Amino acid sequence: MGTLVVEQLPWYVGGPLIGLVVAAMYAVWNEPLGVSGLYAHVTRFAVRRPDTDMLRVWVFAGIVAGGVLATLLQGGPRVSADYGVLSAALPLLLLVPILFVGGVLIGYGVRWAGGCTSGHGLAGSSAFSVASFTATATFMATAIAVSFLLNWLLGGVL
Amino acid sequence: MSTAGTVVIGSGTSGAGAAVAGPAVVTGARPLPLNAVRMIARARAGAKANRLGFALGLVFGALLVLVRVHEYQTIHNMLMLRDPYVFLLMGAAVGTAGPLLWLLRRRRWNTPFGGALAPERHPVERRHIAGSMVFGAGWAVTGACPGPALVMAASGNVLGVVVVGGLFTGLLLRDWVARRQGVPEPTGC
C-alpha cells in the first residue's frame, strides 16, 4: 500500500469538510458534535452507568480509529514524544507533569463550560447559540493571553 | 406531552422524566439528561443508530490529522497570532455548517434518529465564561483541545497520552466538585 502524504490540507478544503461533519452530526442524530461530551460518556461507560450514551462512545472510538488510520496512510504511526518548541524549552521530566496539569485544566474547564472547541466553537456556534459564542470568545481570548504570558515567562523562546 | 411508554420526540425534556421509563433514564435520583428523549429515540432505532457514529468519528479523526491540529506547533502558532490557519479553518467550518443547518431547519428537516432538527441553544451562564477561562489556560499550555489531544495520542505521541490522561482526570474532578456543590451535570456537548 502506498502512502498518501498530505502535509496539511488548505484551510478552505479542511474547514468546509469539518463543517460537513458537524452538520452531519446534527442532521442524522440531532446532536451537537462536542468532543468533551464524548469523554464524559466514556467515563460513564467505564463504570457501566445506565445513562451512558452509546452514540458518544462510538464517536469517541471512531475518532481514535480515524487518527490511527490517517497516520497509517501517511506512513506512521511513529512513537514519539515531540512537543515542538516546548520540547526544546523544557526537559522531558518537567514537560510531562506540566502537560498533565494542562490536561487537568482542559478537562475541568470543558466539563464546567459544557463544551470545548468542537462543542461550543464549531457545533454550538453553527447553531447560533449565544452561550457557545460567549464560551468560544472566552477560551480564545484566554488561550491567546496565557500563550503570550508563558512565552514571556520563558524568556521569549516559545 | 408524553404518556407512559410513548415519547413524543422534541416535546421538551422537563416533565417527560416522570412518564418515561426507557433504558437510558433508570438512574434513581439523578436528574434527567437534557438529551434523554433523543437517547431513548436512538435506543428504539436499534444499535445501528449508535454504531453509525463510529463512521462519523472516523472521518472527523482523520480530518484532524490532515489539518495538523493534533500538533502542538499548529495550535501554538495560532495562539501566538503568528499563523491565521486555524482561525480560517474554524471560520470555514462554521461558515459551512451554519448556513447548512439554517437551511435544513427552514425545510423542517426530520433527522433519522432524533426527530425534528432542533439544535440546542443555551442562554449565557456564569459557567460558560468561568469554565472556558480554565479550559483556555490548559489549551495554551498543551496546544491541544479534547479532539486533537485524542488524535495526538492515537498518532503515536506519548505526550498526547499524558494530556488525555490529565483531561479525564480534570473531567472527573469537575464532576466530583459539581456533585459536592449540588450542581446538575452538564449535558449536550
**ipTM of this predicted complex?**
0.95
Return residues 15-34 of B near A (CB < 8 Å).
23-27, 30, 33
**Which residues of chain A are modeled with pLDDT < 70?**
1-6
Q: Quick one: which H or E segment has residue B115?
A: strand B115-116
Do residues B64 and B148 touch, judged by C-beta distance below 8 A?
A: yes
Q: What contacts A32, CB < 8 A, 6 or more positions away?
A: A25, A26, A115, A119, A123, A124, A127, B119, B120, B188, B189
pTM of the complete model beyond 0.90: no
Predicted confidence (pLDDT) per residue in B26-73, tens digit: 444 555 666 788 888 888 888 899 999 999 999 999 999 999 999 999
Contact B53 A127 (CB under 8 A): no
Contact B136 A78 (CB under 8 A): no
CB < 8 Å to B66, chain A: 6, 8-9, 14, 70
CB < 8 Å to B57, chain A: 58-66
B125, B126, B171, B120: which is closest to B146 by C-alpha? Answer: B171
Residue with cell 410513548: B6
Predicted confidence (pLDDT) per residue in B117-139, tens digit: 999 899 999 999 999 999 999 99
Nearest to B38 among A31, A105, A114 (CB): A31
Do residues A41 and B187 touch, judged by C-beta distance below 8 A?
A: no
Contact A58 B57 (CB under 8 A): yes
Predicted confidence (pLDDT) per residue in A52-69, tens digit: 999 999 999 999 999 999
Please state, in angstroms and rounded to a whole number, the distance separating the CA atoms of residues A68 and B65.
Answer: 9
DSSP A123: I
- C-alpha distance from B22 to closest chain A C-alpha (Å): 10
- C-alpha distance from A38 to closest chain B C-alpha (Å): 8
Q: What contacts A13, CB < 8 A, 6 or more positions away?
A: none
Do residues B120 and A8 touch, judged by C-beta distance below 8 A?
A: no
> pLDDT band for position B183 (50/70/90)?
confident
